[in-house]
Amino acid sequence: MQGNDKSLSGLVAIYCFAVIAVMVVALMVCQALK
């Protein structure tokens, strides 16, 4: 089970990046609808 922390931290980084991307897209959609 070596490298478990590395894969976990990578998963967290991908999750954070996905959340930021979704927020940016939502912001762009709101701007477009206005």
* Cα distance between residue 33 and residue 12, in whole Å: 32
Q: How many domains does the chain have?
A: 1
Q: Which domain holds residue 12?
A: 1-34
User: Rounded to an integer, what is the distance from CA 21 to the centroid of its chain?
Assistant: 6
Compute the distance between CA of residue 25 and CA of residue 3 in angstroms, rounded to an integer: 33
Which residue's entry shows tokens 């922390």?
5
Residue 30 has a pLDDT of 94
What's the pLDDT at 3?
A: 59
User: Per residue in 1-34, pLDDT tens?
Assistant: 565 667 888 899 999 999 999 999 999 999 999 8
